Amino acid sequence: MSILTALARAEAVESGRAQPLTTVRHTHVAERPLVLVPLSLAGEAAAPLAAIVGTDPGEPRLLVVANPRDRTQRFDFVAELARVVLSYVDGCARSVDTGAGGTKLRYAEAPQVIVPNRGGVEFVRLLGRSTRFRRPFGPYPVHRTVPILGQWLTFLRERADHPGSSMLLAMTSVLSEHWATGQSGLEDANLAALLGWIDPPGGLDGASAAALAEDPLRSPPAGPSTDPTFDNEILAPALAAVARSDTDDFARERALAALTAAVADQMRPTWDLTWQAVRLLRARPAGGSVETRWAMDRDVFTMYHMALAEGTALPQPRRDSAVAAAGRLDRLEREQARYDAQRALDDPLVMAEFRLSGEAFTGTVVAASPNRVDTSGKKAALRPHITVQTDDPVRLEPGAHLVSPARLAQQATVVSVSSVDVVLELSKGMGRSTKQPAPGSVPEVGERVTYGPVTDAYQPPGRFPSRDDTPWTHGGPPPVVEYNASDNDAVEDWS
């Protein structure tokens, strides 16, 4: 925990309300996200009990497994979930972003799946792993959409590891990045308690609202684990009643209705809380780099969707090889550094963390040489020098690269650091002249400036398909992966 976060938590305790850790929202919130609230059977991590899913807060879709230990019923549940999720994914690939560039194809939208907590992310991983290798033929066949859903769930779970990605979000993690509460990080994993601090009901402070939220009768667990009392007193008898009614259709219908109502009572509060959190996030202005990161998500989604459509998607292994794991770790570390730098440049509160650690500073320009030309190389280049006087602790070595939020296109290199002065050499972002910088491109004496860690420019995550490579014409619609059952399939056609 950083110093500023600790201070914000102390202020939350003092004021009785969560304190903002950021001035802007650093996570993309889609216009039409898919909220998924899962429940699993106690003691059976890979046995789904129920899920409530949908894109409209007023029209949730509830799916319930009458016997979670029965393999056939579990995969019937997965097939119903696939009907919802794959329809949503397919809807995100209906239009192309015409502003993505002349030779690049990018869908205008990408799927955004929101789960209540980190346990929901783990549920997505387990469900994806248990379904993506299934086959619609041979022993124990499943509906043809089941392995496709498993591929997409695995894809979304993998994207959740990438810093700044917004395709699979755990709501408790997102809220904790933007607000500091007066409770521990472990308690912040409770969505109801966390929202009690951020948006307490009328007449209550954060601590009182969080205490009420810990009552499982008022706020049932957000899943995928269920409350033990609910398991013993309500769920177990309901499941037993369903099992006893196999030979009586009327009794079975009543038992299923009772089971569905009991599960709905447990899940609906979490569904409402998740949408409440979506509204809170949407009310905050987005940071300047949020759209760039969402564009990367859309690029990755475009390539994977097209690969599935063309049958060229690479297999998703059960585990990475040593070389693949090392490459993945290196990529994630670089993405984390870029994400941290982007957040700092977007947000003064995040930049303050870097200032405290000595990786960034704010000060006043006390000297400037805007027309300085560097002749040490083969070609003379305009390289102005500025001297910034600062009270911040600066722990930077000569040669370090920095950037200012006010001049993102310009790069500053540390020339020297003294007790109060930092000398910087500027490059780029000053126009085409080799002798005279563009007006306003070089900070003037007396100007207040901030310099922080440099962020990499946006780079595409791989080779983009050109329009000549695509299986559709320039003006035609993008490809659509067909998820519907065939005429010979015993399962109903979902088209």
How much is the average pLDDT of 259-281?
Answer: 95
**Size (the chain), residues:** 495
Strand pairing class (113-115; 34-40): parallel
Please state, in angstroms and rounded to a whole number, the distance separating the CA atoms of residues 65 and 58: 23
pLDDT tens per residue, range 3-33: 889 999 999 999 999 999 999 999 999 999 9
Q: pLDDT tens-digit profile of 443-473? A: 999 999 999 987 654 444 443 333 333 333 3
| pLDDT band at residue 476 under the 50/70/90 scheme | very low
Q: What is the pTM of this model?
A: 0.86
Question: What is the CB neighbour count within 10 angstroms for residue 487?
Answer: 6
Residue type, 468: D
pLDDT tens digits for range 287-306: 999 999 999 999 999 999 99
C-alpha to C-alpha distance for 178 and 26, rounded to whole angstroms: 8
Rounded-to-integer distance, Cα 450 and Cα 364, Å: 9
Specify whether the CB–CB gap between 114 and 222 falls below 8 A.
Answer: no
User: Within 10 Å of residue 65's Cβ, how many Cβ atoms?
Assistant: 25
Q: Give the model confidence (pLDDT) of 187-199 as tens digits.
A: 999 999 999 999 9
Mean pLDDT of the chain: 87
Q: What is the DSSP string of 422-469?
A: EEEEEESSS-S-SSSPPTTSSPPTT-EEEEEE--PPP--SSPPPPTTT
Instruction: Find out whether 265 and 1 touch, Cβ atoms under 8 Å.
Output: no
Q: 69-107 pLDDT, tens per residue?
A: 888 999 999 999 999 999 999 999 988 887 665 557 889
pLDDT tens digits, residue range 309-352? 888 877 788 788 899 899 889 899 989 989 999 999 999 999 99
